[in-house]
Amino acid sequence: MNTKQNIESLRDELRQHNYNYYILDNPTISDYEFDVKLKELQALEDAHPEFFDANSPTQRVGGAITKNFNTVVHNFRMYSLDNSYSKDDLLDWEKRIKKMVDGDVHYTCELKYDGASMNLTYEDGKLVRAVTRGDGVQGDEVTANVKTINTVPLQLKGDYPQRFDIRGEIILPIEGFLKMNEERIANDEEPYRNPRNTASGSLKLQDSAEVAKRPLECLLYSIKGNKLNISTQFEGLEKARAWGFKVPKEAKLVNSIEEVLAYVEYWDTHRHNLPYEIDGVVVKVNSLFQQDELGFTAKYPRWAMAYKFKAEQVSTRLNEITYQVGRTGAITPVANLEPVQLAGTIVKRASLHNADQIEKLDIREGDEVFVEKGGEIIPKIIAVDLTKRLINSEPTSYINSCPKCETQLVRPEGEAKHYCPNYNGCPPQVIGRIQHYISRKAMDIEGLGGETVALLVNEGLIANYADLYDLTVEQVIPLERMAEKSAENLVNGIKASKQIPFERVLFALGIRYVGETVAKKLAKHYKSIDALMVASTLDLVSIDEIGERIAESVVEFFSAEENKIIMERLKTYGVQLKISADKLANQTDKLKGLSIVVSGVFETVSRNELKKLIEDNGGKVSSSISSKTSYLVAGDKMGPSKRTKAENLNISILTESDFLKLVK
């Protein structure tokens, strides 16, 4: 055997031992024997650098230093999951599913691991990239750090696809977490708060050798790619396990919602026996064909639901009520609490929502209150312990003027929140609007963060987002923690934002009630800011899914003189305030006013391409058949009940070929 063959043989042998130890939990050699073989391989690789392999078992120890984590766009968006907190929620979810798909529905039940979401990309069986979830559209590349995790295979086994993504959760098992804290306490260091945050923080350490010292694991649960030859979620889990991934065996295939509920009940009581933390169960429609039929909302897949276990509660003292001002001027009361441990974190603050909530619970400063942390990031107060109320307690009087600019607050009719109407003069509103404008899902301005925006406003360099485009390197350099290179990056990042497409610019403007989805609808309908600015409330409400509240907010925004001036300035700077010529060339009104349902498997184009064709030609994609449906585009394997329903309602049924001719 020559040197290269010897190296390859050792690598294969060590990979198999790694698999036996970390995935199968069935080691066949001792740790000492493994270390001897690893050192033998390391010596051979050091002596023959021409045979270097980035995915060799010797690369697990880390050592790469990452100063900046590159932002990478996901090949397939990483959606968050819709949450349920009761069995009734799951039953309602099942009813919605049954209305949208034909045939029996089976489910895969999996544990909801409490860690940091990760997307791994493999090519030819080798790990090529690891990217954090980020905002779901893009995340940070942390490949060097993830390579140090033993349960992430660097080289796959078996009949894996040529290229695919696989998703999982980076977790820190409880035993390893406790051991890390024992060492920190012994060294007079502050112990880590909880396994989840420690796992997440580990991924952003600059030195991968430090990450390698932490007993992180990666539990996989979802495969994404094209032509993977996988037909169900459960089959995907089994294949991933065969390829070398750690896929928890607690996942279960069930045939009914009753079995789903039994699974949930079992793990609600047995979760504390697991070696890692979970906070619920994830239920997925098992058939990938049915998943495709169900599709996605703007935020969630319709085919999955997370059942969250009952929220933990604690009691603590409410020391003070303060008030925050949001970018829209909305006032949010905040309870400042005596610090208390809750669901693995130290809680110091909780949302009080609005004046009605304070009055309903009769919450007062000095009260002993019960705090809960459910699906919300910010804990909330759910009740007051009246038996411990102070004798001299005074009812809470809600503020009537802005805590930042002292302007008299207003409360619009029918709304629960109070607002500060000082749109241009209230600092948190000015700063908040610009921070929203530069955010990832909006203009995504590289080199400019929220703290820097606050500095720029406070130093008088900017007063609105149009002012950003006048900034120079010379103006920015004197700012705190700003060097010449970072000042150049900031100014260049602002220039680059001029290429951001119109729908994202529209979202970035921060018009109340205009989120990402509404911004896309408005951009698609009006095609330019000029057309949108002169639209009336009546015009706007005629657009599908645009209600009166959104319409009134848009009209109010563009009727303000200061906003008209800002729009003109953005135009002169070259910001994209209309749909590009390329996009316009692909759009028509051929299907305007038509509601179309797509069902089945298609040959010439994919289902997503069909949906895009419908939208590009002015139509609306609907998920279920009703009397308002204009056409049903039927592919292979479409369920019989959809065809029957369409025929009963006299809805025209088009083949894939018919539809493509229609939009040609």
Do the domain assignments include residue 558? yes
Paired sense of beta strands 331-342 and 345-351, if any: antiparallel
Residue 201 falls inside a structural domain: yes
Cβ atoms 631, 649 nearer than 8 A: no
Q: Do 141 and 244 fall into the same domain?
A: yes
Q: What pLDDT score was predicted for residue 504? A: 94
Q: Residue 9 belongs to a domain with what CATH number?
A: 1.10.287.610
Range of the domain at 352: 312-388
Structure tokens at 554: 């848009």
pLDDT at 149: 92
Shared domain for 184 and 240, answered yes or no, is yes
Does pLDDT of 61 surpass 80? no
DSSP states of 219-249 as a string? EEEEEE-SS----BHHHHHHHHHHHT----T
List CB contacts of 318: < 8 A, sequence separation 6 or more: 335, 336, 337, 338, 363, 364, 365, 366, 367, 368, 369, 381
654 lies in some domain = yes
Query: Taking a C-beta distance cutoff of 8 angstroms, is the pair 379, 362 a contact?
Result: no
**Final residue belonging to a domain, choices 584, 606, 633:** 584
pLDDT at residue 377 in the model: 56
Task: Clarify whether residues 112 and 176 are in a common domain.
Answer: yes
| pLDDT above 60 (res 574) | yes
pLDDT digits (tens, 9 = 90+) for 578-625: 987 777 667 778 888 888 888 888 888 888 888 888 888 888 888 788
Same domain, 110 and 202: yes
Mean pLDDT in residue range 290-312: 87
Which token pair is 235? Answer: 């089959």
- Give yes or no: 95 in active site: no
Residues 544 and 491 in one domain: no
Tell whether 101 and 184 lie within a shared domain. yes
Domain end among 553, 584, 615 = 584
User: Which range (205-219, 283-297, 585-599) has the least confidence?
Assistant: 585-599
Give the rounded percent of residues in the chain with a pLDDT score beyond 70.
Answer: 96
**418 located within any domain:** no
Give me the CATH number covering residue 481. 1.10.150.20
**pLDDT tens by residue, 257-274:** 999 999 999 998 898 889
**Pairing mode, if any, of strands 620-622 and 163-171?**
unpaired
Structural domain total, the chain: 6
Catalytic residue among 37, 112, 179, 571: 112
Q: At what angle do helices 3-18 and 31-47 cross, to 10 degrees?
A: 150
User: How many CB atoms sit inside 10 A of residue 460's CB?
Assistant: 7
For β-strands 304-308 and 278-285, DSSP reports them as antiparallel
Residues 118 and 212 in one domain: yes
**pLDDT: which is higher, 515 or 345:** 515
- How does DSSP classify residue 120? E
Cα separation, 349 vs 369, whole angstroms? 12
The label of the residue with tokens 């078992």 reads 57
CB atoms within 10 A of CB 32: 8
234 φ, ψ (degrees, to nearest 5) = -65, -40
